[in-house]
Amino acid sequence: MGENVKEKFIQEHGDTLWHYTSPTALTGIFQNDEFWFGNYDNLNDHKELIMFKEEVLEELRKDPCNCFDRMKEIETEIENQAELFYFSFSLSKARDDVSMWDRYARGGTGVAIVFNTDVLYTFLEHILNDKIHENLTLIPINYEKNIKKSELLSVLKRYRDGKVMGGFNSLSGAISNLHAVSYMHKHKSFTSEQEVRMHPLFVKKDDSNVKLITSETIRVVYVLKIKEKLKELGIKMEDLIDSIVIGPKSSQGEKDLELFFSKLNYPELAKKVLVSDCPLK
């Protein structure tokens, strides 16, 4: 990724990124020393992700051409790659935000894990070199969707018309990119969320990091073990986490949560427990 790229990312997105979540997810992260990436099928914008790909296909079908076989190849490849799993760990630049508490932290009764952006970026740079997690990305969501101006649409049109695509060695590569791009867009009505997504791309069903968890509901998640990776870098969990913020409507006791972290041998993290200043009641 590079130091200059990291500095630019921090300038654009700030020194901290917030992960709003439930108390159950919080305990899972710290008791198991792992991040759980949620399946895109369970996200609030799942239908929109499908629509992005459908709109690209609609644009491809508009132009009259003698290209039935090529269009069939494109459609088949999209369907085949839809069998892959897509997961996300959502972060936000919206700090201590009323709508984020209400929407993603159990109506404000949950918590927020506040990440140090610099350390998180360094952590991800390190694990990108790990073949186990080589497709892990950290990307801000794009809320302005203009399919007609998409370079990817132009690439697929060239393939449809029997021309050299440019930029991709195969149709499979172009469709992989289409899937990846579709998961980086949300409708402009979500703009206030200021979301940055951390996600592994192109995960197969037999991936060793795909697990079933049974807390609250049965869910498929992608698990990233973090303790050993932090140790390799000489980074403590307390360096990665800037603070833990108790939600504005939570009944969670501050002292109890401090004791929770102390018992897990995170004494410095116990000192970083805060209570939200958000007026959500």
pLDDT in tens, 194-235: 999 988 877 877 888 888 887 777 888 888 888 888 888 889
- pLDDT (0 to 100) of residue 114: 98
25 pLDDT higher than 80: yes
Strand, coil or helix: 127: helix
Distance CA 230, CA 240 (A): 9
- The conformation of residue 169, written as its DSSP 8-state character, comes to S
- pLDDT (0 to 100) of residue 6: 87
Tens of pLDDT, residues 234-262: 899 999 999 999 999 999 999 999 999 99
* Residue ranges per structural domain of the chain: 3-275
Residue whose structure tokens are 């427990």? 273
- pLDDT (0 to 100) of residue 134: 56
Distance CA 44, CA 186 (A): 10
First vs last C-alpha separation in the chain: 42
Distance CA 118, CA 8 (A): 11
pLDDT interval class at 280 (50, 70, 90): confident
| Residue 221: how many other CB atoms lie within 10 Å | 22
| Residue 107: how many other CB atoms lie within 10 Å | 14
Q: Residue 15: what are its φ and ψ, rounded to 5°? A: -75, -20
Tens of pLDDT, residues 28-75: 899 999 998 888 766 655 666 677 788 888 888 887 777 888 899 999
Contact predicate 6/125, CB 8 Å: yes
Beta bridge partners of 113: 19, 244
- pLDDT (0 to 100) of residue 82: 73
Query: Strands 241-246, 273-275: parallel, antiparallel or unpaired by DSSP?
Result: parallel
Residue whose structure tokens are 């469709």? 175
Identify the residue with better confidence: 257 or 6: 257
- pLDDT (0 to 100) of residue 275: 98
Contact predicate 28/34, CB 8 Å: yes
132 pLDDT higher than 70: no
| Residue 200: how many other CB atoms lie within 10 Å | 22
Ranges 86-90, 185-189, 206-210, 242-246: which has the least confidence: 185-189
